[in-house]
Amino acid sequence: MATPSSAVVRAFAPASASNIACGFDIFGFAAEGWGDTVEARRREEPGVVLTAIEGDDGVLPREAAKNTAGIAVMQFLAEVGAPETGIALRLTKGMPLRSGLGSSAASAVAALTAVNALLGAPLAKERLLAAAVAAEAAACGSAHADNAAPSLYGGFVLVRGGARPEVTPLPVPAELTCAFLHPPLEVDTGAARKLLGDHIPLHAAVTQWGNTAALVAALFREDWALLQSALVDVVAEPVRSRLVPGFAQIQAAARAEGALGCSLSGSGPTLFALCRGLPQAERAAATMAMALTTATGLTGETQVTRVGAAGARVLP
């Protein structure tokens, strides 16, 4: 067992967008601006406890074994062969829950980053990622790293594989920015996944894998026209967007502002619009919010971020 390097460690992990139009279950990027903070300290008694959660309006389970932050740390302690270590966690949510922004992944990744530092960094990033994915699988029922990976690594990542994910960080053009609009709605991720069915048309699949290939080439070349043509989802968006009232109007508003692409973040209800430069993202966020209100009467929360944001980190 590694020696504790300090008595208390705080770590931050950003929210993340996943899928990114064509890249269902394979692409994600860190969404700086939103994110979770976890404070971890040793305690005398064995086991992991959550002493406090803030910023969740009392919604999340307080029991460590039912919260992704707690589960992730238990997974971590099992990994390092010290399951009886006593750890106390405080979680501060800085992002909307069940929004398609990887809230549970951000909690798990922040907790793992804090505890790894607290215990002298015994695990490398890929093993932290595996622990985060296992925690998400336990809490949410499906193992996907497309939120945990960008939250941990930062930037824009390609994720392949389920329980043992392989992460390929992709280059991010410095000017690439994102406008988010989070409508005050909830989408059940499981229900959104079922909507897709087990099979998809071959011609749609071909379009999709042509677009994922083109998206990667566009990021390497900083080819904005190619990026725009690649940010098209013919598989998930057509069925899932029905769960988000006003989707078509919001997407049209983002496009009218010149956004490169606009779709659901994860299974929604949050929408992202990739843009070139912060001013365009600011304008897109404003017009998307207006479109939501016009279409539904609802007021959404917006966020503007660079896409090349850093991943999880220990706070000073």
Which parts of this chain interact with a copy of itself (CB under 8 A)? Answer: 22-27, 158-160, 166, 168, 170, 196-202, 205-217, 220, 226, 229, 235
How far apart are the C-alpha atoms of 257 and 269, rounded to whole Å?
Answer: 21
The CA distances from residue 131 to 13, 42, 71, 179, 259, in Å, are 15, 19, 9, 30, 36
CB nearer a copy of itself, residue 158 or residue 292: 158
Q: Report the residue number, 81 or 197, with the smaller CB distance to a copy of itself.
A: 197
What is the nearest approach in angstroms of a copy of itself to the Cβ of residue 166?
7
Q: How far is the CB of 200 from a copy of itself (least distance, A)?
A: 5
Phi/psi class of residue 200: alpha, beta or left (left: φ > 0; alpha: ψ in -120 to 50)?
beta
- Indicate the residue among 226 and 314 with the shorter CB distance to a copy of itself: 226
In the complex, minimum distance from the CB of residue 130 to a copy of itself, in angstroms, rounded to a whole number: 17
In whole angstroms, the minimum distance from the beta carbon of 189 to a copy of itself comes to: 15
44 vs 198 by CB, closer to a copy of itself:
198
Nearer to a copy of itself, 223 or 282 (CB): 223
Residue 298 CA: distances (Å) to CA of 63, 98, 101, 240 = 33, 17, 19, 19
Q: Which two tokens stand for residue 114?
A: 């804090």
How many residues does this entry show for the chain? 316
Judge contact between 9 and 127, C-beta under 8 A. Answer: no
Beta bridge partners of 37: 12, 92
Name the minimum Å distance from CB 299 to a copy of itself: 35
